[in-house]
Structure 1
Amino acid sequence: MLAPLKWIRNYVDIDTDVKQLADMMTMTGSKVEAVKLPGEGLKNVVVGRIERIEQHPNADKLVICQIDVGSEILQIVTGAKNVCEGDYVPVALDGAVLADGLKIKTGKLRGELSQGMLCSAQELGISEHMIEECKRNGIYIIDWEDKLSEGDIVGKDALEFLGINDAIIEFEITSNRPDCLSMIGIAREVAATTDNVMKYPEIEVAEKGGQISFNIDIESDELCPRYAARIVKDIVIKPSPYWMQRSLIEAGMRPINNIVDITNYVMLETGQPLHAFDRDKVSGDTIVVRKAASGERLVTLDDKDRELDSDMLVIADREKALALAGVMGGANSEIDSSTTTILIESANFAKDSIRATSKKLGLRSEASSRFEKGIDLERVEMALNRAAQLIEETESGVVLSGYADNYKNKAVQKTISVSVARINKILGEDIKVSEMAQMLEKLEFKCSVDGDMLEITVPYFRLDMDIDADVVEEIARMYGYDNISSKMIYGTTTMGLKTVGQRFEDNIKDALTGMGVNEILTYSFVSPKGVRKINLPETSIKNNFMKLLNPLGEETSVMRTTLVPNIMEVISTNYSKKVEEFFGFELGNTFATADGALPVEKKSLCIGVYSKDSDFFVLKGIVEGLFEKIGLAKYEIVPEKHHPTFHPGRCANVLFGSYTIGTFGELHPDVLENYGIKERVYIAELDFELMLALSREAKTYSPLPKYPSIERDIAIVVDESVFVKQIEDIIRENAQGLVRSFRLFDVYRGEQVKEGSKSVAYTIVYRSDEKTLTDEEVEKVHSKIVKEIEARLDAKLRD
């Protein structure tokens, strides 16, 4: 949030250097992101008045200006096209230094004397967002009309006159401190930090118009606990005063007209959003706060026709919706140049409702961002009256007497009791209770002491204060974290160790990253549509979702029951960005519910692969390599033909006795189509807890072999329906104790084998623990294996 220091000075006296103030604010919890000094480095620039303009005798594109700078009349040559006689302009005198470091000297331009330079906004170091659009090009023309009360301004320091000689501080406002989304909120923190007195604006409304006659009907008290409104007649739409425009611009907002600017100014000042309706466009004498009808439509101020649903809150009259509550007004009640009477709204809306509406419509505003974080109920009246006061002071209209205020359930101030001993124990200090009370009172808490207990009454605007730990934090930051002394730990200390499960997680991650598989991390909050996208039926237990009570939107409304949709979204994103290959894994929790039972939280491992060179066996190799690294043996890979997520015939389950560790394989074409992917994708999802229970954490050792091994390759042509597991089972059954290992190194489908068949090639390693094998001994076993494969699988040895 941008906070112009001169605006903050309206509420608190500041005599501290701005950079020192920034450091102090950061150390007390109001983090300063940046300090901007618009006029830094500039000097010798004054306000001048153009008395006469003449054409340059030697240059068609130049003019000669006679300029009054107070002490004398200067002659300045310029090529600017936007200056006129009588204009007030910033003049850089001889010896002046501009924002870009340029030094101005008296000289001649095309033979004519030029004793200075007329300045643009950029040359004064004013960034574009801080000036009106009409003044971004050419010489900066000073608005004299708004300064009549200040007397003659000729010769005055231009930066001071324009109000750009003070710092603008950018604060990072955390979500728990919505009260600081206002100049008054920031000023409160500055006052407490610098030990100064907070000065609130004195608000008085003259109310010279007639008596207000208006009603407010709130149909959803839980969504709108308070709604107040004032009516102002004889409205004059005009530009707002210069000081207000400068304040808005420096705070990052664009001036529009006096009424809109006043509502925005009050929002920035108090943190309470306001909205002004054209009273003549509101039918009847009642504002209705209600839920929208399903399918109801409203054209908002950004000229977009929006379809609403029954969860959205609207401000309406008896005939139509006028605004999206807390988000944006409607075009059908917008103020324009013909407006003569306005209705000013100051209300409080439930933050969850505003957040949900804003999320659904993809519509965020300064108002919605404040309502989403929470605003106290007591601010409504103050902001409404402040706006009425400014309308009167700027002669923008006549405020009617009284205001409508629907406020049924009054806010109750929270109280917190905390032990003084506990505060000191947590902080490791010995702070006197009187000092604690003094610190809290600076922040506008009310304190009383009852023995060892500190009784604290929380101000309405501190919505973040709930428990004793919150009080400790307030005392700590005001005491100063730098003032808390470092001390040795008192008592017995122990060295922390990782659990078996944590070490197992590390082993899995090390194994997979070692194989070139990268870890990814996705949200546990997902859309229920994800399970449907991976072809799981409605009856699947993966549809037993845990639903969130207050989701940000439908896309994050349930807890995930499987990791497959998450990794598929990541793969889909990579594929759409033309990433040629993907090797990734996620190790994360899944959540499921069962009728009459508590939710179950389980950890799963999901691996995803795609590339032009990948196939089923690449993923199988990754899974088997992982099992070897984590000490998981005696598992069995069994074909799975009926899993709806996977391609039939290219999928397998990993079994350990009666346990199913997981499933892996090529995704079904329908699933790939759901994600817009035209490449083959291979996915594995494994049960982390089962792997942990079945693996061996202890290392096992075996001696190096004494005798050499002999390798033989075998290529078998089999029917397409034959699984490699069937071949591998035959190899194991006929090993006769001599087969040490075997490895699938090729699967071929093409012209050299008949259609409907495939060639499967293995390398088989033979070795004995007792002697060196002869070729005859190896050939005997090898031939037996080949014959068994040919006989049992109707296979043929490939030439």
Structure 2
Amino acid sequence: MRVSFNWLKEYVDIDVSPAALAESLTLAGLAVEGMEEPGKEIEKVFTGKIIKIDTHPNADKLVICQVSLGGEEQTQIVTGATNVREGQVVPVAVVGAKLAGGLTIKKAKLRGVESRGMLCSGAELGMDPDILPEEQQHGIMILSADTPVGVDVKPLLGLDDIIMELELTPNRGDCMSMLGVAREVAALLQKPLKMPAVQLSEIPPELQDRVRVDIDDADLCRRYVARLLKNVKIGPSPAWMQQRLRAAGVRPISNVVDVTNYVMLEMGQPMHAFDYDKLQDGHIIVRRAASGETIISLDKAERKLVSDMLVIADPGGPVAVAGVMGGLESEVMEDTTAVLLESAYFKPISVRRTSRDLGLRSESSSRFEKGIDITGCLRAADRAAALLQDMGAADTVDLVVDNYPEPAVEKTVLLRPDRVNQYLDTDLTTAEISKLLTRLHFKVQEDHNGLLVHIPGYRPDISIEVDLIEEVARLYGYKNVKNTLPTGVITQGSRTVAQRLALKVKDFLARSGFKEVITYSFMNNRVFDRVGLPKEHRYRNAVQLQNPLSEEQAVMRTLLFPGLLEVLQRNSNRRLKDGAVFELGRVFYPRAGEILPKEVPMLAAAVTGFTPGSWNTQPVSMDFYYLKGCLDTLLAYVGIKDVSYRPATDIFGSHPGRTAKVLAGDVELGVIGELHPDVQESYDLTQRVVAMELNFHRLIQVASTSKKYHPLPKYPGVERDLAIVVRQDIPSQQIIDKIYQHGGDILRDVQVFDIYRGAQFASDQHSMAFALKFQAVDRTLTDEEVAYKTDAIMEALQRDFGAILRQ
């Protein structure tokens, strides 16, 4: 499919370069195999009018032409072309002009007569001779008489265009039309699609006007539209239409034939024009060929037909091979005054078989083979009639027959957003998916099961859900889909990535002094009140059991850590005040319209009291910093980097100012914090409790098993301690980030090793001490270098946080 960039801009406001558009189309599945610039080499070629032609005094086959280029002076050009006539407008290459193939025009003498230029043929302008009228294929290119003189021929002939050659897959028959490609471009660029307007002014039919269409084989022809045109004036089509046809590789013939080809290229609907007066009684019969029937096709070859071929006939016999080529007997000629336009839908497999058996392929057959829009037949006939009417070539009669035995039913396909994300490994919302499909002019309705997508007639290739998922992927962008290698079980009994990571996490926590527990997946609704969950919170929307064993197990859990609090409460009631427990389990969320809930794996842990002491170690308080330290080590153990903590005030059940969200880059893994005293009291726990709950599925996504090793440093490091007094409301992470920012590339590590509050500080201030390690990879650092960086760090802390160096 040859696509003219200039023609395409009529339907879409394209604001990108042709190369960028070609790349976007290729990435969207419409491969652009090549790009052609027809007039790239051509310079200084203008339109000229031949004023006078004289015979050459010294050569019988040469003539001397006096050519006007719009000014008062005339240019003398000697040519051997036999088709030049006085008054013609032709392309003229002046001295210094460049033509296709690198030819440069110079002043010359031909048999003693000076020639200051050259009259150009289509081939010399880089045009394929096959797309030129027969009389111009081997001579000078003749332009229409109303062509302005002295203008550049490149825009006039479409040589300033860029042609994209699309390599389409068999399922994308909709893109064998300019509007089909424009629809894709509009969707990719998120621009509106400008459809061509169709305005008809019909004249009433006369008594002798009659059109009848009988479809004898409706299994091979599902629709046939016939429209009558009268007062037809056969002549050349407008220059702009010829230009577009040539850009698409089609040779202009006459206005009627050119319009049928133009509509086919524009809308993807093949059409045919019959000389109405050569049809018996205006009667069209669509039937299978009779055994032994023959037809002389438009290429003047006699074709023998067989019984499984579909033909268009009148009562006297075949007048066209359906979907392949018309017959010579009903061809539109120069004396034609009435035309019957055909716009039909033929079964793709029938056209393909007929085309193959006859050894005859055409632009029409290639489109029918891939499947056309059955709903667009009448629209295409009206478009062709309107074009002929607008150029004054015909009058449209208010007589159209639309034989449509079984109107097509619009297909509706259910698309489930979760299935889209499962196939594409994306996180697209329902609204985002709907917006992508709407850009393709699909009608989308939300349903309790997903999205109901109404498939337009121009997309017969879409019939099931995965077809729509492919459309979402194309518009979302294949390059935006995560570049992940496929994973799967290679040998029987092997563990998945999630299973291996789960075992790794459990093993780490067990070796860190935590006890694994397994709690019930069911709980009581009162748990939501005990943990301080707001009345309208989404976690209260739990899956209700129809027949629970007891009220204590009436709903499926949406949170994991309340089960751990019950474990700590049970142990506390048995005088086991200290404890550290964890659970890796699932929570359950209801899904609208689904019987089974959504299951999400979660990791929860809770600590209270002190660690066990021994003869040489003191018990350590299991407070917020203890659990945070365990979590930091765990995340580093499973290869999660860029971990940060952000203060959180809206987390239910937590102590104000002692709760944080846990993030890995931009991914929120979960929360960690000390329980609110009210929640602690509701569980009868006498000691402070710190808990965390992480989304294990997200943890799997950001975890990494790869390890990176660095060589041991060759040069010694320098350690410095920095103690400052700052406000208590400034997070330590902000201070650490600032230290790294001003420490430069020689600052290797920053650690907080002391936080102190005392009477010597204001009530809203405290002291923080940091251990800084400086080290260079190429030299031993001097005290002056370290002192300079330390002073720069302190100056930044004083400026941005009001920090004071502690003496």
TM-score with structure 1 length normalisation? 0.57
**Which SS does the other structure have where 2:202 is aligned?**
coil
Which of 321, 324, 348 is the matching residue for 1:324? 321
Q: Give the C-alpha shift of residue 272 in structure 1.
A: 1.3
> Is 1:169 matched up with 2:164?
yes
The residue aligned with 1:120 is 121
CA distance in 1: counterparts of 2:51 and 2:317, whole angstroms: 57
Mapped partners of 2:93, 2:201: distance in 1:
45
2:67/2:77 contact within 8 Å kept: no
2:132–2:252 Cα contact (<8 Å) kept: no
Work out whether residues 277 and 334 of structure 1, in 8 Å CA contact, stay in contact via their aligned partners in 2.
yes
Over alpha carbons, which structure has the higher Rg? Answer: 2
Displacement of 1:285 after TM fit? 4.9
In the aligned structure 2, how far is the partner of 1:431 from the partner of 1:215?
Answer: 53
Superimposed CA distance per residue, residues 560-611 of structure 1 (whole angstroms, 9 cap, x where no aligned partner): xxxxxxxxxxxxxxxxxxxxxxxxxxxxxxxxxxxxxxxxxxxxxxxxxxxx
The answer to whether the 8 A contact 1:80-1:139 is kept is no
Look up the match of 2:69: 69
SS of the equivalent of 1:226 reads strand
CA contact (8 A) 2:47 2:149 kept: yes
CA contact (8 A) 1:225 1:407 kept: yes
What is the CA-CA distance between 1:94 and the residue it aligns to?
4.2
Deviations 1:413-460 (A, max 9, x none): 111112211111211121233222222111111122335612211111
In the superposition, relative to structure 1, how do residues 376 and 91 fare at CA in structure 2: closer, same or farther (>3 Å)?
closer
Q: 1:19 to 1:60 in 2, by over 3 A?
A: same
Match in the other structure for 1:17: 17
Q: Is the 8 A contact 2:48 2:67 kept in 1?
A: yes
Residue in 1 aligned with 2:197?
A: 202
**1:762-777 to 2 correspondences below 5 Å:** none
Q: 1:291 touches 1:311 (CA, 8 Å); kept in 2?
A: yes
Structure 1: 5+ residue stretches without partners: 148-152, 497-799
Q: Name the counterpart of 1:30.
A: 30
Q: Which residue number in structure 1 is paired with residue 241 of structure 2?
A: 244
Question: Of 420, 423, 426, which aligns to 2:423?
Answer: 426
What is the CA–CA distance in structure 1 between the aligned matches of 2:298 and 2:81, rounded to whole Å?
36
* 2:382 match: secondary structure: helix
- Residues 1:384 and 2:381 aligned together: yes
Which one-letter code corresponds to 1:234 in the other structure? N
Q: CA deviation at 1:367?
A: 1.9
Q: Which residue in the other structure is 2:99 paired with?
A: 98
Alpha-carbon separation, structure 2, partners of 1:224 and 1:97? 52
8 Å CA contact 1:75, 1:113 repeated in 2: no
Secondary structure of the corresponding residue to residue 7 of structure 2: helix
Amino acid at match of 1:2: R
The aligned runs of 1:450-465 (5 Å cut-off) are 450=447, 453-465=450-462
> CA–CA distance in 1 between the matches of 2:450 and 2:369?
35
User: C-alpha displacement at 1:270, in angstroms?
Assistant: 1.4
Describe the SS at the equivalent of 2:281: coil
Pair 1:272 & 2:273 matched: no
Give CA-to-partner distance per residue, 1:664-702, whole Å, 9 cap, x none. xxxxxxxxxxxxxxxxxxxxxxxxxxxxxxxxxxxxxxx
* SS of equivalent residue, structure 2 residue 384: helix
For 2:440, the equivalent position in structure 1 comes to 443
User: Which segment is superposed worse, 467-476 or 244-253?
Assistant: 244-253
Deviations 1:196-232 (A, max 9, x none): 2211111122112426643322222222211111112
What residue in structure 2 maps to residue 629 of structure 1?
Answer: none
Partner of 2:393: 396
Q: Is the 8 A contact 1:214 1:404 kept in 2?
A: yes
Q: Distance in 1 between matches of 2:350 and 2:407?
A: 20
For structure 2, the 5+ residue unaligned runs are: 494-807
- Is the 8 Å Cα contact of residues 424 and 430 (structure 1) preserved in structure 2? yes
Aligned mates of 1:127, 1:80 — CA distance in 2:
21
The one-letter code sitting in structure 2 at the alignment partner of 1:163 is: G
Cα 1:448–1:68 shift into 2, 3 Å: same
Taking structure 1 as reference, are residues 286 and 110 closer, same or farther at Cα in structure 2, changes over 3 Å only?
Answer: closer
The alpha-carbon distance between structure 1 residues 439 and 300, as it changes in their structure 2 partners (threshold 3 A), is same
Equivalent positions of 1:582-621 (< 5 A) are none
**Structure 1 position 366 matched with structure 2 position 333:** no
Give the Cα separation in 1 of the matches to 2:265 and 2:95.
40
The C-alpha deviation readout for 1:181-202, integer Å capped at 9, x for no partner, is: 1121122122222222211111
Deviation (angstroms), 1:382: 0.9
Letter in 1 for 2:171: N
Q: Which moved more, 1:158-167 or 1:102-111?
A: 102-111
Q: How does 1:676-691 map to 2 (within 5 A)?
A: none
Measured against aligned partners, the alpha-carbon deviations of 1:111-134 in whole angstroms (never above 9, x if no partner) come to 766554443333322232343332
CA positional deviation for 1:401: 0.7
Query: CA RMSD, aligned part only?
Result: 2.9
Number of the residue aligned with 1:260: 257
Partner of 1:352: 349
- Between the aligned partners of 1:467 and 1:335, the Cα distance in structure 2 is 43
Partner of 1:8: 8
In structure 2, relative to structure 1, the CA distance for the partners of 1:102 and 1:325 (3 Å cut) is closer
Q: Which amino acid aligns with 1:256?
A: I
- State how far apart, in whole Å, the 2-side matches of 1:278 and 1:118 are: 38
Greater CA deviation, 478-487 or 22-31?
478-487
Mapped to 2, the partners of 1:67 and 1:267 lie a distance apart of: 39
Structure 1 range deviating more: 452-461 or 54-63? 54-63
Does 2:413 align with 1:412?
no
Q: Is the 8 A contact 1:295 1:308 kept in 2?
A: yes
Give 1:40 deviation, angstroms: 0.3
Residue 205 of structure 1 aligns to a residue whose secondary structure is coil
CA distance in 2, matches of 1:470, 1:222: 26
Distance 2:109 2:332 in 1: 52
Contact 2:65 2:79 in 1 (8 A): no
Instruction: Provide the secondary structure at the position in 2 that maps to 1:426.
Output: helix
| SS of residue matched to 2:235 | coil
The answer to whether the 8 Å contact 1:76/1:117 transfers is no
1:131: which partner in 2?
Answer: 132
The structure-2 alpha-carbon separation of the partners of 1:101 and 1:192, relative to structure 1 and needing over 3 Å to count, comes to same
Shift in CA distance, 436/87, structure 1 to aligned 2, threshold 3 Å: same
| Alignment partners' CA distance in 2, 1:374 and 1:193 | 23
Q: How many angstroms apart in 2 are the aligned matches of 1:401 and 1:270? A: 23
Equivalences for 1:187-226 in 2 at 5 Å? 187-210=182-205, 213-226=210-223
Residue pair 1:420, 1:452 contacting (<8 A) in 2 also: no
Which TM-score applies when normalising by structure 2? 0.57
Map 1:546-625 onto structure 2 (within 5 A): none
User: Residues 65-105 of structure 1, C-alpha deviation per residue, up to 9 Å, x if partnerless?
Assistant: 44333356253442334444433233334443332333445
User: Match of 1:396, as an amino acid?
Assistant: A
Cα distance, 1:91–1:26 mapped onto 2, change above 3 Å: same
Q: Which shifted more, 438-447 or 304-313?
A: 304-313
Alignment partner of 2:445: what SS? strand
CA distances 1:523-550 after superposition (whole Å, capped 9, x unpaired)? xxxxxxxxxxxxxxxxxxxxxxxxxxxx
**CA shift at 1:489, angstroms?**
4.9
Change beyond 3 A, Cα 1:107–1:217 = closer
Task: Say if 2:130 and 2:137, in contact at 8 Å, map to a contact too.
Answer: no
Count residues with an aligned counterpart. 491
Relative distance call for 1:414 and 1:457 in structure 2 (3 A) is same
1:284 corresponds to: 281
Q: Post-superposition shift, 1:176? A: 0.5
Q: How does 1:453-492 map to 2 (within 5 A)?
A: 453-487=450-484, 489=486, 492=489
Question: Identity of paired residues, percent?
Answer: 46
CA–CA distance in structure 2, aligned partners of residues 437 and 89 of structure 1: 54
Change (3 A) 1:495 1:269: farther
What is the match of residue 291 of structure 2? 294
Could you say which residue in structure 1 is the equivalent of 2:88?
87
Please give the per-residue CA displacement for 1:308-349, whole angstroms capped at 9, x wherever unaligned.
333222222334333222222233333333433222221112
Q: For residue 6 of structure 1, what is the amino acid of its counterpart? A: N
